[in-house]
Amino acid sequence: MSVADNAKIQSNPKFHALVKRRNALGWILSIIECIMYFGFTLMIAFAPDVLTAPIASDSVIPFGMILGVGIIVVSCVLTGIYVYQANNTFDPIVHEIIEEASK
Amino acid sequence: MKQLKAAFSALLSSAVLFAARTGSAMTVDSGPAAPAPAAPPPVNWHAISMFVIFVGITLVITYWAAKHTKSATDFYAAGRGVTGLQNGMAIAGDYMSAASFLGIAALVYMNGFYGLIFSVGWLVGWPIILFTVAERLRNLGKYTYADVVSFRLKQGPVRTMAAIGALIVVVWYLIGQLVGAGQLLHTLVPQISYRISITIVGILIMLYVTLGGMKATTWVQIIKAGLLLGGATIMALGVMFHEGFSFAKLFSDAVALHPKHLAIMKSVVPIGAKANPIESISLGLTLMFGTAGLPHILMRFFTVTDSKAARKSVLYGTCFIGYFYILTFIIGFGAIVLVANNPQYVVDVTKNILALKGGLNMPAVYLAHAVGGDFFLGFIAAVAFATILAVVSGLTMAGASALSHDLYAQVFKKGQATEKDEVMVSKISCIGFGILSILLGIAFEKQNVAYIVALTFSIAACTNFPILALSIFWKGLTTRGAVVGGYVGIFGSIILLLIGPTVWTKILKMGPAIFPLDFPTIVILPLVLIVAYVVSVTDSSESAKQERAAFDAQKLRAETGIGAEKAAVH
């Protein structure tokens, strides 16, 4: 296996573009996760009535239960999105960058 | 106000740390019950035979793992041969403690909807781990998260700080698990005393970890995750079968049967307690970032083959854990319907239809009996025991590697230790941890350990995670900033916990708490970030310049995996 030249990678604009893109995705998904969760937490703290209101007049199920389970499900979906993107978009770019630097 | 806090912290701790409450609840319960002239309880042969089968299988695995553990990489990181799916299961096995299984179910049983807040809080750290640190940990580290923090910083001071943070978390987490293990085993099989239970756990852990290292630990965790997910699924199905597979019926039955009725759907705090918004937010921060700073969890990322497997393992792990937490919620409501008011399980149905024999954490255990009889009760009891063994193995592994890899090899021997010596020290540490576990478990038998989860998660959230994230993402972090920031996190958390409501008022009985919150994260986490920032940017030393300059090389390795530790080839 040929050794990649680190200086070549550092000067390859593709590398910096990749890092930027991957970080952007990571941060956006983190922010969505935090907004969801801290939104839920802030509602617990300041608007519990909204969370405990029943989802329908003839139901005992509170809105917050749907929200809580929803956060768990959406969290799994967000991790799925990241993994899908990383496997299908980022990994091939990383390989390209390493190959170009190994020539 | 005082009452609110007492109620809040009491219920909080009961939920978060099943050990604490089982401990105090059972010492109360078994005290007067013990001298009663009643016939001795029958031996729970189902549970015992299933314990024995589980232990037998894990010992065979340990034997296999020991034969295949030759290098330090085998010992610490299972040869980096763990696949994404396997590691996802092992992560779930490492993370889903008996506290979350029995504790959340018990919390839902007592308080209904409120329990879901913990299910959610304990899950949301996982996506954050994936989006920020998982792959970069794999690319930068060797055996411990301190490898990553000290990647371009001074080894001695940074590793010492990180190892102290790791060890405090590990040792206290261990105490919580052990006290829980002793109580649980003793409750399920009364013929086995608390001390013998603790000793059995300690000896098994020494065998698994000392002989089989990370390979044995990984497989114990995988098997346990499979058993726990399977067992919880059967229980939830049993509940749903009883309720005609209708959630509407399950919840309305629970509301009808629970003594607080509709209040179980209306309360976002333990029933009867007043809301404390700041505490809720601080708790939220602690659960989310604490998860992302647990050393035994972070260590799992060094066992996989590459960064791709690392990321896949978080996806699998998150799905398993999320699924499991939804199940615990169904189990808790199912217990309201099937366990409460049943004279077989309740101490005295004429007085309190919720108070169960054996203490606060029994709803899930009795539900197993209600849906599957003695056999299934034995199975779930064995699963709970397996759960504790798996979590304690992971903790012991993390503690031993902080001692041997960070403190001995890198700090004490300045990186000059041979691999053989390092592994030897690690194995000695494992035996030390095993003995320490037994002693601490016995010492803490009658102690109120309600502050333990707050302590471990706070240090993880305020120290381990922020310093790790800064070292990966912020070029400006210097040794001085990391060390000072890290110690502010460790000691700040400890001090505020000491003067907080649980320890100061309830355990030390020193009067009203000086610091009003049980979870100090809302104060300490921002403080750590500010201190680490200010101390780093004002650092104009020559070494600080070199550390900033080394960031580009670190980033290249973190982002591409070039130079990352390779999987061992056998």
pLDDT value of residue B150: 95
Nearest CA in chain A to B324: A72
Which residue, among B401, B506, B403, B439, has the nearest Cα to B174 in the 3D structure?
Answer: B439
Are residues B449 and B19 in contact, defined by beta-carbon separation less than 8 angstroms? yes
For position B305, which CATH number holds?
1.20.1730.10
Using CA atoms, how far apart are residues B165 and B294, in angstroms rounded to an integer? 10
B281 to chain A nearest CA, in Å?
A: 6
Chain A partners of B277 at a C-beta cutoff of 8 Å?
Answer: 45-46
Read off φ and ψ for residue B141, nearest 5 degrees.
Answer: -95, 170
Is B149 part of any domain? Answer: yes
The amino acid occupying position B452 is I
Yes or no: say if B517 and B281 are a contact pair by the CB < 8 Å rule: no
Give the angle subtended at the CA of B146 by the CAs of B143 and B152, to the nearest 5°.
110
Percentage of residues in chain B having pLDDT higher than 90? 68
Q: Which residue of B has its CA nearest to A49?
A: B266
Q: Indicate the average pLDDT of chain B.
A: 88
Residues of B in contact with A63 (CB under 8 A): none
| CB pair distance less than 8 Å for A68 and B119 | yes
The CA distance from B147 to B141, in Å, is 5
Give contacts of A97 with chain B, Cβ < 8 Å. 560
CB contact under 8 A, A75 and B135: no
Q: Confirm whether B393 is domain-assigned.
A: yes
Q: What is the pLDDT of residue B37?
A: 45
pLDDT at residue number B450: 65
Task: With beta carbons under 8 A apart, name residues in chain B contacting A75.
Answer: 123-124, 126-127, 318, 322
**Best B130, B133, B264, B276 residue to mutate vs chain A (most A CBs within 10 Å):** B130
Is the model's pLDDT at B126 over the cut of 70? Answer: yes
- The answer, yes or no, to whether residue B61 has pLDDT greater than 80, is yes
In the numeric block, the tokens 């998150």 are attached to B318
Q: Judge whether B66 and B58 are in contact, CB under 8 Å.
A: no
Tell me whether residue B89 is in a domain: yes
Q: Identify the pLDDT of residue B26.
A: 35
Q: What is the pLDDT of residues B229-273, one digit of tens each?
A: 999 999 999 999 999 999 999 999 999 999 999 999 988 888 777
Domain chopping of chain A, boundaries: 6-102
What average pLDDT does range B139-161 have in this prediction? 95
Picking from B290, B287, B380, B378, the residue whose alpha carbon sits closest to that of residue B327 is B380
- Tell me the per-residue pLDDT of B477-519, one tens digit each, with 9 for 90 and over: 999 999 999 999 999 999 999 999 888 988 889 999 999 998 9
pLDDT at B7 exceeding the cut of 70: no
Question: Model confidence over B536-546: pLDDT tens digits?
Answer: 999 999 999 99
Give contacts of A72 with chain B, Cβ < 8 Å: 119-120, 123, 322, 325-326
Q: Determine the Cα–Cα distance for residues B570 and B79; give it in Å rounded to an integer.
A: 9
Query: CA–CA separation, B359 vs B347, rounded Å?
Result: 10
Of the two residues B211 and B16, the one the predictor is more confident about is B211
Work out the end-to-end distance of chain B between its first and last CA atoms, rounded to an integer number of angstroms.
62
Say yes or no for a CB contact (<8 Å) between B281 and A26.
Answer: no
Share of chain A above pLDDT 90, in %: 76
Examine the pLDDT at B19 and tell me if it is beyond 80: no
Q: Judge whether B43 lies within some domain.
A: no
Q: Do B132 and A30 touch (CB under 8 A)?
A: yes
How far, in Å, are B128, B282, B405, B466 from residue A32 at the CA level? Answer: 10, 19, 37, 19
Q: Is B303 helix (H, G, I), strand (E, B) or coil?
A: coil
Q: CB under 8 Å to A80, separation ≥6 — which residues?
A: B315
Shortest Cα–Cα distance, B248 to chain A (Å): 7
B562 CB-contact burial (10 Å; exposed 0-12 / middle 13-18 / buried 19+) = buried
Q: For position B13, what pLDDT does the model report?
A: 41
Grouping H, G, I as helix, E, B as strand and the rest as coil, residue B270 is coil
User: B145 falls in which pLDDT band (50, 70, 90)?
Assistant: very high
The whole-angstrom separation of Cα B177 and Cα B7 is 23
Give the mean model confidence (pLDDT) for residues B368-395: 91
Q: Which helix (H) or strand (E) is B361 found in, with range?
A: none
B21: tokens are 């409450």
| pLDDT of A5 | 82
Residue B452: predicted pLDDT:
81
pLDDT reading at B114 higher than 80: yes
Q: Provide the pairing of β-strand B352-356 with B346-348.
A: antiparallel
Tell me how many residue pairs between chain A and chain B have CB atoms under 8 A apart. Answer: 147
Helices (H) and strands (E) in chain B, counts: 27, 2
Q: What are the pLDDT digits (tens) for B344-381?
A: 899 888 888 899 887 788 899 999 999 999 899 989 98
From residue B488, give the alpha-carbon distance in Å to each of B172, B309, B459, B521, B531: 19, 34, 10, 12, 8
Query: How close B124 comes to chain A (CA, Å)?
Result: 7
Contact between B43 and B191 under an 8 Å Cβ cutoff? The reply is: yes
Give the count of domains, chain B.
1
Which residues in A lie closer than 8 A to residue B247 (C-beta atoms)? 61
- Taking contacts as CB-CB distances below 8 angstroms, the residues of chain A near B465 are none
Q: pLDDT tens, B310-347?
A: 999 999 999 999 999 999 999 999 999 999 989 989 98
Domain that holds residue B331: 81-448
Q: What is the mean pLDDT of residues B85-104?
A: 90
Instruction: Give the distance from residue A99's alpha carbon to the nearest chain B alpha carbon, in angstroms.
Output: 11
Q: Is B120 in Cβ contact with A71 (below 8 Å)?
A: yes
Q: Do A79 and B127 touch (CB under 8 A)?
A: yes
Render pLDDT for B443-476 as a digit per residue (tens, 0 to 9): 988 777 767 877 899 999 999 999 999 999 999 9
- pLDDT-based confidence at residue B39 (cuts at 50, 70, 90): low
Give buried/exposed letters for B35-50 (b at 16+ CB in 10 A, else e): eeeeeeeeebebbbeb
Q: What is the pLDDT of residue B280?
A: 87
Rounded percentage of chain B residues whose pLDDT exceeds 70 = 92
- Which chain B residue lies closest to A69 (C-alpha atoms)? B326
Which H/E stretch holds residue B346?
Answer: strand B346-348
User: Is pLDDT above 80 for B99?
Assistant: no
Q: How far is A74 from chain B (nearest CA, A)?
A: 10
CA distance B566 to B570: 12
Q: Is residue B40 part of a domain?
A: no
Query: What per-residue confidence (pLDDT) applies to B272?
Result: 74
Nearest to B468 by CA among B158, B77, B169, B124: B158
b vs e for B182-219, b when ≥16 Cβ sit within 10 Å of the residue's Cβ? bbbbbbbbbebebeebbbbbbebbbbbbbbbbbbbbbb
Which ipTM was obtained for this model? 0.95
Quote the CA–CA distance of B75 and A12 in Å, as a whole number. Answer: 38
Lowest-confidence region among A85-94, B98-107, B393-402, B493-502: B98-107
Across B298-311, average pLDDT: 95
- Integer Cα distance of B496 and B31 in angstroms: 34
Judged against a pLDDT cut of 70, whether residue B28 lies above it is answered with no
